[in-house]
């Protein structure tokens, strides 16, 4: 059960990311919405670096439900998902005024939830299980931490957040809610 | 208007041709009958009727024809195996042709193509599938045409043969179909037209009305080919060779009449037979469907659902009884009945009839009925969700149907993988065809997501193409980021199937789409406010490598090595320059990627290099990052210790410039460092590896060119530049590599570039220029960042004119004890070609001076007078005498230097040597640094008390504790004071002080008889401080000179040869400077020597000389802490004056605060001390014996009052027997009672004392305190008219005063 948090500035520049592996067990009852969807294996993403030229077609018929790869999954795919979900987030933003956009998008096993601050900074969270309340609380805490960071007069909107305090606190909050 | 249904949702008609017909067609160069008939589908303008008899016009009605034998053979094959073959077949078809497609698409660069050839191909392949499946009944034959020709000898027999042939379809294929008889009558037939008509009538009579006589011309030779639609590709039969290429026909060699005849037949077959038959089927089946929907059966069916009975439907399939009357011939002969019954049992989903009903209704366009049935089916989980999206108008419920359909497919865990995948693919393609594109891509339906869902996780070309098409639709919807992601996924899957051209195309698409970041609706001043450019903002760091790296590898494997090399290089830059947001998150990832990229680059580049004949092409391959850090790269010259802080040298240079100004010297310093002919200098290159992997650079060197030349090769003749063979730099490591350069003639050089070979492969060049300063002088420059021209390193190589080389005679690190004095020698040598006329030594501290040759008297008097300028001014630079008039080239000189270690800890001693060849030349400099370590030696405690003896005013107690590890011998102790003289109160000699032992000395202090300059000094300080507190400019006046009394209070036999005055001054200056800086932080240090004198007139300093015989060390230490004598706040007036002065408003609170702090520091300073100058000593014998029987005892007590003030006289009143209340506080010891004169008055001059004799009256024996007195003091000032400056009242405290014991003795 891993989570990926991205904070994006108003110009969609990533200024912080966090990979967090939750120790909490996945809930046994899935939401009806997610059970509507097929279960997907992630084997498609694995090993793009190693599979080089002349990929053989012998591994074509793998059975479904391959091993789930957690936080170590190809980073670019995770980042691509976060980036791609911005399209959906912007659509929803235009339609609704809410700050917390829950399950705004889905890519394979990843559900994307988002939080838009009044300053148009986006928090994008990729998660696998449904945990609306937890994620909402998590977002609110991250928001507070983010605002505290932004109060620093030497910190600008576009700057990568490197504060270790911020990181520690976000992790603590992730541990609490996710 | 909804688009027509996908052609795969059309009646499937199987044709069984007799052998003679086949021969006939082959003979007339025509394809087989199914292909011929297929050319006429779809048929225009067909009308059907619904169950409610409403007519529905179809603009086009598709039919699918296939050869029955082929179908029978295909049905025998295992379905999963077939699915696997299909997937591979599609993959190979696409793989074979995609290179051409990609080329075509890239040719129309810029234009977004409307159709994607690979998608069309995929659609055609999937749609073309016509083999019946267990999961659905679309491909189950709706009709079987039995075709013969009249060429056969006995056509009727042939027909009956065909009719009696068992249809060898598997039992699960629905046996409800229409049998139709077709007789082809060619012109050259053996039968005449009449005979054929008779035959036709006979056939009609025997086999029913579903028969047709098709007369054809079939001219020989065949006519010109007529183009017809290309048939959809079909999976070749298992085991058969792939002959598709030859079988593909899109021409028909028929003449016009034949075409019309065939078209007429096709139409008749459809309109007269098939549609009415299907309508009849629908009507009948609908009835039974409606009957099952009635309450009881629904109850039954739901119970069945609830209790999960696996038995088939309780309502028996009614197909046998409700045989459509018109289609009476369809019923198979009795032999097939059993098979049909069995088929019903095993039919897919147990409800073949309802499914067929739904399908037929769909085909006939009776959507109302079809939707009802499909919905019913889907509610029971029997499929139908996949067709509903095609039939219903767009609504939010449709995505649910889609997800249901896919979910049902994918969750059938028993279903084999390929089959499931193929079905999902088929559904997705039907949706894509059957739903209007604008609806399909609409927000509500989000059809592109369906394709992604359907693609599932299979790593096969079809699912990759589904993803790619989803990306295509997304990109048309302007959702570029999502499109990019899907393209990447598609490429990832396709890569594994080895379809490289298309993979590369998708990767490029993904890259372009990712790069094409959508325009944000931000305030125009957003970037201004951030002070950044839009292009500066970074992005997700792993995405570009994730796209580019596979692309690079594919390019390499497809032989496009150069492009691959460029991509790998750009990737290296990517990870090097990324402002990684993952710095906190997941580290360790980049390490391996950098390594992988570098390795890939190395392999690809090696390959490129070996295979490339024209190496010119490599020129445009450059490394996108740099190793050299020009700002940290610097020049280093021989014989120039530039070590140490810059501030230290600044101090030296400042001292020199002050000195030279005051002495009128030409102080111009030739500061520019220079290299000399035939002497190497070094360029210290700072190289930083930006990668996370070891990197080796070979043939590292610098490009040096003459400043006035543009061609670097011109300098080669006289320059010798070192080439470093190989440098290895660790991950993210910074290394400094010195490159030596030697010139053989004077010139001006510019060091422009460094060159190296990256990984021994790629020659690279980097500039050493540093960007100039940001300019701010004009408004334009302030608004847009403008920089001064780049700065390049320049070296002037000069002829060695006069050059001084300085060295220490011994170069080891010094370890000294505090206060140690050593003599070292500085070795100077002229290595140039001209004589040196003048050498100056500037030292940065007070503890270094040149030895003077003056003889020191070996026998010292007990006291001597030293004349001091009393100035804090730091030491002046020393002029080094050069023996004769100048130092000739090649000559050398030794200069003895004395070093006095004052500060503890590690120290650096700086020597700045300035020299020149004549009076007008600028000074050149040599800098030398010597480090030393100073260890503590003594812990010194010193304190002074007023002496109770008449002879001395003060007693000074000096205690020295040895803190080092060897025994120390104190050789001499001298005191230095402008006002006080000392004598030792202890006689005898002192032995060595052993480690951790202490030695103590007591000195008596008295005023010096002939002080000189004390008053002037005090006046000077008051004057200068007044200027300070009033904020006036400090003049450049110096304190008046002062005489110091130096008393040698202790001396061992052996005399030392120290020249005492230097030590006094250097030690005192050192401590005074340091304390002034800490006390007056706001007074600029360079004005200190104009304000404060070196010696306070009241100060008493002690100079302790020591030696450690065992280590042959000697030295001395100045103890400077005492100020003796009372003073009376001489600065009181000026401070009050400053405080009461009309305060001027200052703009800055800081200035105000600093002023107050200065005032406060002055008020608390040593110059403004104030105390009671008078001190009372009470003296008497300590014990008395008295016979009290004879009366009370009278004791004599002496009172001495001393004035400790050195500046003012005081008036006093001494009163005895003070308040009685005071005495009561002490219960045990009573104050003595004085009698006789109890009040004494007097006036005491400076340092004078007076004594009174008093009688104390003791009534009985006991212990009495003598302190029953109080003294009132008035300090007087002003010479002509005395006035009181301070008043004090002092009472004896019982503790301080002596006691008297009076004992009773019987006499």
Q: Give the pLDDT band of residue A147 (cuts 50, 70, 90).
A: very high
Instruction: Say whether both A170 and A98 belong to one domain.
Output: yes
Q: Which of B546, B552, B568 is the mutation pick for testing A, counting most A CBs within 10 A?
A: B546
Q: Are B1284 and B1275 in contact (CB under 8 A)?
A: yes
Which residue in the set A12, A60, A156 is minimally distant from B530, CB to CB? A156
A18/B530 touch (CB, cutoff 8 Å), yes or no: no
Instruction: Say whether both A54 and A109 belong to one domain.
Output: no
Residues 23-42 of chain A with CB under 8 A from chain B are: 35-42
- What pLDDT does B329 receive? 35
Concatenated DSSP letters of B887-927: B-TT-EEEEEEEEE--S-EEEEEEEEEEEESSTTSPBEEEE
A14/chain B closest Cα distance in angstroms: 6
pTM of the predicted structure, to 2 decimals: 0.66
- What pLDDT does A39 receive? 38
- What pLDDT does A113 receive? 93
Instruction: Say whether both A150 and A137 belong to one domain.
Output: yes
Instruction: Say whether both A22 and A84 belong to one domain.
Output: yes
Which residue in the set B538, B545, B584 is minimally distant from A162, CB to CB? B584
Is the CB of residue A86 less than 8 Å away from at least one CB of chain B?
A: yes
Q: Which of B386, B585, B593, B594 is the mutation pick for testing A, counting most A CBs within 10 A?
A: B585
Q: Which of A158, A164, A167, A168 is the mutation pick for testing B, counting most B CBs within 10 A?
A: A158
Q: Which of A14, A21, A166 is the mutation pick for testing B, counting most B CBs within 10 A?
A: A14
Concatenated DSSP letters of B717-754: GTEEE--EEEEEE-TT-EEEEEEEEEESS-EEEEEEEE
Q: Closest-CA residue in chain A for B492?
A: A48
A18/B91 touch (CB, cutoff 8 Å), yes or no: no
Q: Closest-CA residue in chain B for A11?
A: B520
Taking the C-alpha atoms of residue A165 and residue B398, their distance in angstroms, rounded to an integer, is 48
A53/B443 touch (CB, cutoff 8 Å), yes or no: no
Q: Are B345 and B175 in contact (CB under 8 A)?
A: no
Strand order in the sheet with B878-880: B814-817, B924-935, B905-916, B838-843, B878-880
Q: How many domains does chain A have?
A: 2
- Mean predicted lDDT score pLDDT of chain A: 74
Q: Which of A20, A76, A160, A166 is the mutation pick for testing B, counting most B CBs within 10 A?
A: A76
Contacts of B13 (CB under 8 A, 6+ apart): B37, B63, B64, B65, B66, B141, B142, B143, B144, B145, B274
Taking the C-alpha atoms of residue B1235 and residue B1224, their distance in angstroms, rounded to an integer, is 19
Instruction: Say whether both A61 and A132 belong to one domain.
Output: no
Instruction: Say whether both A14 and A98 belong to one domain.
Output: yes
B-chain residues within 8 Å CB-CB of A9? Answer: 537
Output the domain CATH number for residue A139: 3.30.450.70
Residues 560-619 of chain B with CB under 8 A from chain A are: 579, 581-586, 589, 593, 596
Instruction: Say whether both A100 and A144 belong to one domain.
Output: yes
B-chain residues within 8 Å CB-CB of A42? Answer: 457
- What pLDDT does B854 receive? 53
B458/A60 touch (CB, cutoff 8 Å), yes or no: yes
A54/B498 touch (CB, cutoff 8 Å), yes or no: yes
A76/B489 touch (CB, cutoff 8 Å), yes or no: no
Q: Closest-CA residue in chain B for A19?
A: B585
* Token pair 């340092």: residue: B1247
Residues 44-73 of chain A with CB under 8 A from chain B are: 44-45, 48-49, 51-57, 59-64, 66, 71
Instruction: Say whether both A65 and A139 belong to one domain.
Output: no
Is the CB of residue B408 less than 8 Å away from at least one CB of chain A?
A: no
B-chain residues within 8 Å CB-CB of A45? Answer: 489, 492
CA-based nearest residue to B120, from B530, B471, B432: B432
A76/B545 touch (CB, cutoff 8 Å), yes or no: yes
Burial-class residue B309 by CB neighbours within 10 Å (0-12, 13-18, 19+): exposed
A-chain residues within 8 Å CB-CB of B526? Answer: 10-11
B-chain residues within 8 Å CB-CB of A88? Answer: 479, 482
Instruction: Say whether both A137 and A88 belong to one domain.
Output: yes
Which residue in the set A55, A76, A158 is minimally distant from B543, CB to CB? A76
Taking CB atoms and an 8 Å cut-off, how many pairs form between chains A and B? 182
Q: Are B19 and B452 in contact (CB under 8 A)?
A: no
Burial-class residue B906 by CB neighbours within 10 Å (0-12, 13-18, 19+): exposed
Residues B639, B643, B644, B647: what is their CA dihedral angle, to the nearest 10 degrees? 70
Boundaries of domain holding A49: 32-69
Distances (CA, A) of A1 to A20, A22, A24, A71, B798: 9, 5, 8, 8, 71
B-chain residues within 8 Å CB-CB of A38? Answer: 406-407, 409-411, 453, 456
Q: Are B27 and B188 in contact (CB under 8 A)?
A: no
A-chain residues within 8 Å CB-CB of B403? Answer: 36-37
Residues 345-404 of chain B with CB under 8 A from chain A are: 400, 403-404
- What pLDDT does A36 receive? 40
Instruction: Say whether both A51 and A14 belong to one domain.
Output: no
Phi, psi at residue B409, to the nearest 5°? Answer: -70, -45
Instruction: Say whether both A129 and A52 belong to one domain.
Output: no
- For residue A114, pLDDT over 90 is answered with yes
Which residue in the set B497, B520, B540 is minimally distant from A83, CB to CB? B540
Distances (CA, A) of A148 to A124, A157, B831: 19, 13, 65
* Token pair 């939707």: residue: B371
pLDDT digits (tens, 9 = 90+) for B1050-1107: 877 665 566 778 888 888 888 888 888 898 888 888 888 888 898 888 889 998 888 8
List of chain B residues with pLDDT < 50: 1, 242-247, 308-350, 574-591, 1220-1221, 1223-1224
Instruction: Say whether both A57 and A18 belong to one domain.
Output: no
Is the CB of residue B533 less than 8 Å away from at least one CB of chain A?
A: no
Residue ranges of alpha helices (H) inside B456-534 are 461-476, 480-497, 500-515, 526-530
Residues B1229, B1230, B1235, B1237: what is their CA dihedral angle, to the nearest 10 degrees? 80
Q: Closest-CA residue in chain B for A3?
A: B585
Is the CB of residue A112 less than 8 Å away from at least one CB of chain B?
A: no
A53/B553 touch (CB, cutoff 8 Å), yes or no: yes
Q: Pick the residue with more confidence: B318 or A170?
A: A170
A160/B538 touch (CB, cutoff 8 Å), yes or no: yes
A61/B484 touch (CB, cutoff 8 Å), yes or no: no
B-chain residues within 8 Å CB-CB of A79? Answer: 540-543, 546
Q: Closest-CA residue in chain B for A48?
A: B492
């Amino acid at each position: 059960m891993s989570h990926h948090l991205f904070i994006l500035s108003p110009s969609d520049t990533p200024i912080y990311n966090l990979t967090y592996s939750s120790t909490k067990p996945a809930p046994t009852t899935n939401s009806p919405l997610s059970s509507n969807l097929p279960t997907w294996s992630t084997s498609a993403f694995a090993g793009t670096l190693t599979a080089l030229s002349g990929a053989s077609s012998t591994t074509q018929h793998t059975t479904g439900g391959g091993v789930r790869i957690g936080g170590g999954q190809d980073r670019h795919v995770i980042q691509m998902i976060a980036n791609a979900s911005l399209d959906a987030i912007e659509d929803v933003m235009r339609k609704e005024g809410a700050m917390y956009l829950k399950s705004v998008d889905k890519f394979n096993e990843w559900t994307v939830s988002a939080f838009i601050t009044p300053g148009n900074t986006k928090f994008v969270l990729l998660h696998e299980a449904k945990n609306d309340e937890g994620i909402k609380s998590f977002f609110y805490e991250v928001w507070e931490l983010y605002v505290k960071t932004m109060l620093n007069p030497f910190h600008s909107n576009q700057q990568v957040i490197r504060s270790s305090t911020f990181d520690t606190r976000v992790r603590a909050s992730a541990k609490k809610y996710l | 208007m909804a688009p027509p249904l996908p052609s795969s949702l059309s009646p499937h008609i199987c044709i069984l041709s007799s052998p003679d017909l086949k021969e006939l067609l082959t003979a007339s160069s025509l394809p087989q009958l199914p292909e011929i008939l297929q050319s006429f589908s779809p048929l225009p303008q067909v009308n059907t009727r619904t169950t409610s008899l409403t007519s529905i016009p179809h603009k086009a009605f598709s039919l699918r024809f296939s050869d029955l034998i082929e179908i029978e053979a295909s049905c025998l094959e295992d379905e999963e195996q077939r699915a696997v073959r299909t997937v591979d077949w599609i993959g190979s078809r696409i793989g074979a042709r995609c290179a051409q497609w990609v080329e075509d698409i890239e040719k129309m660069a810029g234009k977004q193509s409307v159709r994607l050839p690979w998608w069309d191909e995929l659609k055609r392949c999937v749609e073309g599938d016509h083999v019946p499946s267990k999961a659905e009944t679309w491909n189950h034959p709706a009709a079987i045409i039995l075709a013969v020709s009249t060429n056969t000898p006995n056509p009727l027999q042939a027909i009956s043969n065909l009719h009696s042939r068992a249809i060898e379809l598997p039992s699960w294929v629905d046996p409800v179909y229409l049998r139709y008889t077709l007789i082809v009558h060619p012109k050259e037939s053996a039968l005449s037209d009449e005979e054929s008509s008779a035959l036709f009538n006979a056939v009609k009579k025997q086999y029913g009305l579903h028969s047709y006589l098709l007369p054809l011309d079939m001219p020989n030779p065949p006519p010109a080919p007529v183009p017809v639609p290309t048939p959809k590709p079909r999976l070749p039969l298992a085991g058969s060779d792939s002959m598709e290429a030859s079988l593909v026909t899109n021409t028909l060699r028929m003449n016009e009449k034949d075409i019309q005849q065939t078209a007429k037949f096709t139409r008749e077959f459809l309109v007269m037979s098939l549609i009415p038959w299907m309508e009849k089927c629908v009507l009948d089946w609908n009835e039974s469907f409606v009957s099952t929907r009635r309450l009881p059966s629904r109850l039954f069916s739901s119970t069945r659902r609830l209790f999960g009975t696996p038995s088939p439907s309780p309502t028996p399939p009614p197909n046998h009884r409700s045989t459509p009357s018109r289609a009476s011939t369809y019923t198979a002969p009795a032999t097939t009945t059993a098979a049909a019954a069995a088929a019903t049992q095993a039919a897919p989903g147990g409800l073949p009839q309802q499914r067929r009903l739904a399908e037929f209704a769909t085909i006939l366009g009776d959507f109302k009925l079809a939707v009802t049935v499909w919905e019913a089916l889907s509610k029971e989980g029997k499929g139908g969700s996949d067709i509903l999206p095609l039939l219903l108008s767009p609504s939010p419920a449709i995505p649910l149907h889609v997800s249901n359909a896919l979910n049902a497919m994918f969750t059938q865990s028993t279903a084999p993988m390929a089959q499931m995948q193929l079905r999902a693919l088929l559904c997705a393609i039907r949706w894509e065809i059957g739903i209007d594109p604008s609806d399909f891509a609409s927000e509500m339906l989000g059809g592109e997501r369906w394709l992604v869902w359907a693609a599932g996780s299979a790593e096969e070309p079809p699912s990759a193409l589904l993803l790619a098409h989803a990306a295509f639709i997304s990109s048309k919807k302007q959702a570029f980021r999502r499109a990019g992601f899907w393209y990447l996924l598609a490429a990832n899957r396709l890569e594994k199937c080895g379809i490289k051209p298309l993979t590369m195309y998708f990767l490029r698409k993904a890259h372009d789409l990712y790069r094409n970041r959508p325009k944000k609706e931000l305030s125009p001043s957003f970037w201004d406010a951030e002070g950044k450019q839009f292009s500066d903002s970074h992005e997700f760091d792993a995405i570009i490598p994730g796209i580019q790296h596979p692309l690079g590898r594919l390019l390499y494997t497809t032989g496009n090595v150069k492009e691959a090399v460029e991509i790998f290089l750009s990737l290296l830059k990517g990870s090097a320059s990324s402002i990684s947001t993952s710095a906190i998150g997941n580290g360790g990832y980049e390490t391996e990627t950098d390594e992988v990229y570098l390795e890939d680059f190395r392999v690809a580049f090696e390959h490129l290099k070996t295979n490339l004949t024209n190496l010119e092409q490599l020129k445009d391959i450059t490394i996108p990052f740099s190793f050299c850090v020009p700002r940290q790269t610097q020049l280093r010259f021989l014989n120039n210790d530039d070590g140490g802080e810059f501030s230290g040298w600044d101090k030296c240079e400042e001292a020199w410039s002050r000195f030279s100004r005051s002495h009128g010297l030409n102080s111009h310093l030739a500061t520019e460092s220079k290299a000399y002919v035939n002497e190497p200098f070094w360029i210290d290159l700072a190289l930083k590896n930006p990668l996370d992997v070891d990197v080796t650079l070979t043939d590292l060197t610098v490009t040096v060119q003459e400043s006035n030349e543009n061609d670097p090769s011109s300098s080669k003749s006289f320059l010798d530049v070192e080439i470093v063979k190989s440098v290895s730099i660790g991950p993210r490591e910074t290394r400094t590599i010195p490159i030596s350069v030697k010139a053989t003639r004077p010139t001006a050089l510019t060091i422009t570039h460094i060159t190296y070979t990256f990984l021994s492969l790629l020659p690279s060049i980097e500039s050493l220029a540093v960007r100039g300063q940001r300019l701010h002088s004009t408004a334009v420059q302030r608004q847009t960042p403008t920089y001064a021209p780049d700065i390049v390193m320049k070296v002037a190589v000069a002829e060695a004119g006069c050059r001084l080389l300085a060295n220490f005679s011994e170069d080891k690190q010094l370890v000294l004890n505090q206060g140690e004095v050593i003599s070292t020698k500085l070795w100077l040598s002229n290595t140039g070609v001209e004589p040196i006329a003048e050498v100056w030594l500037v030292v940065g501290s007070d503890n270094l001076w040149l030895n003077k040759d003056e003889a020191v008297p070996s026998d010292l008097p007990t006291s001597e007078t030293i004349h001091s300028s009393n100035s804090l001014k730091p030491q002046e630079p020393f002029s080094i005498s050069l023996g004769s008039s100048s130092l000739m080239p090649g000559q050398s000189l030794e200069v003895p230097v004395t070093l006095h270690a004052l500060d503890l800890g590690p120290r650096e001693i700086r020597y700045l040597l300035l020299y020149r060849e004549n009076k007008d030349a600028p000074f050149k400099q040599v800098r030398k640094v010597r480090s030393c370590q100073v260890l503590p030696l003594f812990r010194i405690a010193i304190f002074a008390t007023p002496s109770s003896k008449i002879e001395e005013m003060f007693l000074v107690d000096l205690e020295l504790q040895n803190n080092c590890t060897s025994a120390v011998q104190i050789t001499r102790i001298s005191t230095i004071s402008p006002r006080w003289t000392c004598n030792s109160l202890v006689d005898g000699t002192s032995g060595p002080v052993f480690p951790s032992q202490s030695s103590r000395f007591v000195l008596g202090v008295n005023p010096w008889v002939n002080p000189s300059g004390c008053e002037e000094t005090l006046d000077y300080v008051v004057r200068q401080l007044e200027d300070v507190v009033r904020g006036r400019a400090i003049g450049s006046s110096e304190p008046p000179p002062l005489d110091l009394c130096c008393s040698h209070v202790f001396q061992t036999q052996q005399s030392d040869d120290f020249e005492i005055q230097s030590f006094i001054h250097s030690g005192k200056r050192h401590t005074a400077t340091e304390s002034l800086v800490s006390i007056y932080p706001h007074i600029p240090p360079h004005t200190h020597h104009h304000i404060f004198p070196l010696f306070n007139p009241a100060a008493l300093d002690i100079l302790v000389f020591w030696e450690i015989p065992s280590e042959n060390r000697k030295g001395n230490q100045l103890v400077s802490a005492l100020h003796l004598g009372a003073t009376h706040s001489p600065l009181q007036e000026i401070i009050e004056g400053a405080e009461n002065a009309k305060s001027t408003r200052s703009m800055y609170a800081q200035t105000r605060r600093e002023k107050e702090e200065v005032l406060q520091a002055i008020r608390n300073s040593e110059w403004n001390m104030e105390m009671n100058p008078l001190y009372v000593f009470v003296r008497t014998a300590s014990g008395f014996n008295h016979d009290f029987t004879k009366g009370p005892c009278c004791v004599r007590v002496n009172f001495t009052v001393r004035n400790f003030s050195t500046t003012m006289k005081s008036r006093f009143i001494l009163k005895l027997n003070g308040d009685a209340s005071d005495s009561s506080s002490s219960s045990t010891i009573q104050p003595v009672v004085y009698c006789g004169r109890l009040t004494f008055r007097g006036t005491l001059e400076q340092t004078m004392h007076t004594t009174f004799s008093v009688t104390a009256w003791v009534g009985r024996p006991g212990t009495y305190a003598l302190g029953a007195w109080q003294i009132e003091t008035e300090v007087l000032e002003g010479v002509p008219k005395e006035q009181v400056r301070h008043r004090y009242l002092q009472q004896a405290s019982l503790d301080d005063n002596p006691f008297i014991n009076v004992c009773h003795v019987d006499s």
